[in-house]
Structure formats: C-alpha cells, structure tokens
C-alpha cells in the first residue's frame, strides 16, 4: 500500500515539476464563450494549480485557484467556493484561512476558488460604480468559467457551490438563477434573503465595505433587480437541491478564546465583540430563511450552532458537514 501511494505521489510530483512556470496556454477553450481563454497557468503544488482566465464579461484576467486530487482518473465533479466580503488577498481565504486544501486533499473533486470578489456579491452589476467598477461575476462564474474547468481539469459537469458570509447569499442567488448548473449548495454564516429593511441594510453595508453603492448593483431597493436575486422569491428553483444552511448564535465559545488576533485588527475584546454581532445578524437572517424554506416544503440540512462568532475557526468546523450535504448527488 505504501509503495502504491509513493508511486502516485511521485507521478504527481513529476507532473508538477513539468508545469512550474507554464505561461500562456490555450488561445481558446472548446465550449466556452467567444474570447474566454486560459491566459496563464502555474502549478503551485501537486494539489493546486492557479489559472488566470480572460473574461470578456469582466474585461480582464481573473485569477482562480483549482485544487485537484493526486492520482485521480476519470471525470470528477466540481465545487465552487466563494469568499466573504473581506477577502482582499491574492489567494482565496478558503485556502489561507479555511485550510480547504487539507480538507479536500483525499477527495475526488475539483475545488474552484476565485479571487477578487470582495464586497461584490458575485453578481452582475447593473451600472458602473465609481469605487468598484462594473463587476460581472455571475456571467463569469456560471457561463465563462465552467467550460474552462471541465475541459482543463476533467470536470464531469456536475457542480456544487459553497459560500461563507456574503458568499453564502451568492451561493443561493446563483443557484436560483441557474438551477441547472448546481446539484448542491451551502451557506455558512450568510444571509440568503435580501428582502426587508434588515436584510437590505446587510447588503448595503457589505457592499459599502469597498466604498460601493448597492443601488449600482441591483437598482433601487424593492426593484426587480433585488427580487431577481432573492432566493425567497424563487423557492421552487431550490427543490431537489442538496442544501446546507448554518450559522452560530454569536455567543462566544472556546474557539474565540483560543483565537489569535492580529494587533492591527484592533483590541481583542473589540474584535471579538464585532465578530459576535456579525454572526448574530447572520443567525437571525439564516433562521428567518430556514423558516421560509420549511413553510415552502424545501428540505435542507440544519447546521445551526448554539455558540460561535463570525470567524474562520467555526467555518472550518462546518466544512465537513457542508461537503457531506452538497456532495450527495455529485457523483451520479
């Protein structure tokens, strides 16, 4: 058994060495929208490849990290993982903070982690915003990127989407707008519905983190743009999906006491209090949506916790249950 594992690892390392430094690749990808192409590809490790995909909708190259299993053969499903509003680094927070690479290392699935979606709700904006421009994430994630992933990484065409915080709302919105694309979805500490004053305030505050105006995203509150992105207005499109919904109550727990807080974030007491308040809001909103799903007879897996704040320690703990749920029908 050890020799077989070693052979697989050596084969992966050989492939990895051959790919390091790879520059421009395919001028176009079969099946993708005109103009979509992989502009650059770099093997970061035997399990991770970073690609830069030119998006005609975004009018720029978009960086995407892709995790793949060692030694896997045959077509495999894909899970798209969306960051929260504060992800501003050059690598998805799911990798650097959520340790997704470690979790998915032994699973036969492509894990796709886009970079650069901070405060955008991973949606197509209606108008150009002075601060954030005119993101077109929905078109990129649902139309331009999937053919690239399936072609380049042997995807089977069966997909799931997992999002945290802002990305949790996006996971639901993308699914109801493209129900044919996703078999499963998960929201961790998100706020799926966008109707009502409290939920509107959440959306506007989240977009405002980057100085953006949510009116440029979906139009005036209550308009068709908001309704179109509210999963509560499209419950029928969630039927038959494998759904995971989780959030903590905001109560401080052991993971908060063990958390190492960067001094640049502020005093530890203030940072913990802020995380508690954010999670309490997500808890209220997610519970509200859970009640609406039950009333509409839309099944889901309950991941609500009696303790927990808006921090990565809890999301990392939630990931195994989220994956167990969204992967139920990815392999057949």
The CATH number of 2-326, from 3.30.70.260, 3.40.50.620, 3.40.109.10, 3.40.50.1820, is: 3.40.50.1820
What are 31-86's pLDDT values in tens digits?
A: 777 899 999 999 999 999 999 999 999 999 999 999 999 887 789 999 999 999 98
Better-predicted residue by pLDDT, 289 or 29: 289
* Residue positions counted in the chain: 332
Structure tokens at 257: 């006491």
Residue range 253-279, pLDDT digits in tens: 999 888 888 777 788 888 889 999 999
pLDDT tens sequence across 99-153: 999 999 999 999 999 999 999 999 999 999 999 999 999 999 999 999 999 999 9
The pLDDT of residue 28: 67
Torsion sign (Cα): 303, 175, 116, 152:
positive
Paired tokens of 180:
């044919």
Count other Cβ atoms within 10 Å, centred on residue 6.
10
Q: What does each C-alpha distance from 51 to 20, 278, 318, 322 come to in angstroms?
A: 12, 33, 28, 26
The residue extents of the domains of the chain are: 2-326
């Amino acid at each position: 058994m050890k020799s077989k594992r070693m052979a697989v690892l050596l084969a992966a390392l050989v492939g990895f060495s051959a790919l390091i430094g790879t520059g421009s690749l395919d001028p176009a990808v079969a099946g993708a929208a005109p103009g979509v192409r992989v502009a650059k590809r770099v093997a970061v490790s035997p399990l991770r490849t970073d690609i830069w995909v030119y998006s005609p909708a975004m009018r720029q190259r978009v960086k995407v990290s892709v995790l793949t299993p060692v030694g896997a053969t045959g077509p495999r499903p894909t899970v798209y993982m969306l960051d929260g509003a504060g992800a501003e680094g050059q690598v998805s927070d799911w990798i650097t903070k959520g340790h997704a690479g470690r979790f998915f290392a032994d699973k036969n699935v492509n894990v796709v982690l886009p970079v650069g979606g901070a405060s955008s709700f991973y949606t197509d904006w209606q108008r150009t915003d002075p601060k954030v421009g005119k993101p077109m994430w929905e078109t990129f994630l649902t139309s331009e990127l999937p053919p690239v992933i399936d072609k380049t990484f042997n995807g089977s065409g069966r997909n799931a989407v997992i999002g945290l915080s802002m990305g949790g709302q996006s996971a639901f919105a993308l699914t109801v707008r493209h129900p044919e694309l996703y078999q499963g979805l998960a929201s961790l500490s998100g706020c799926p519905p966008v109707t009502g004053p409290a939920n509107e305030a959440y959306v506007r505050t989240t977009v405002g983190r980057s100085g953006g105006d949510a009116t440029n995203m979906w139009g005036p509150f209550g308009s068709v743009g908001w309704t179109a992105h509210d999963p509560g207005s499209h419950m029928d499109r969630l039927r038959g999906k494998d759904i995971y919904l989780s959030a903590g109550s905001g109560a401080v727990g052991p993971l908060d006491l063990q958390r190492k807080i960067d001094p640049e974030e502020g005093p530890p007491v203030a940072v913990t209090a802020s995380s508690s308040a954010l999670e309490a809001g997500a808890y209220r909103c997610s519970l509200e949506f859970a009640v609406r799903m039950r009333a509409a007879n839309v099944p889901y897996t309950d991941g609500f916790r009696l303790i927990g704040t808006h921090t990565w320690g809890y999301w990392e703990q939630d990931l195994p249950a989220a994956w167990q749920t969204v992967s139920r029908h990815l392999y057949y």
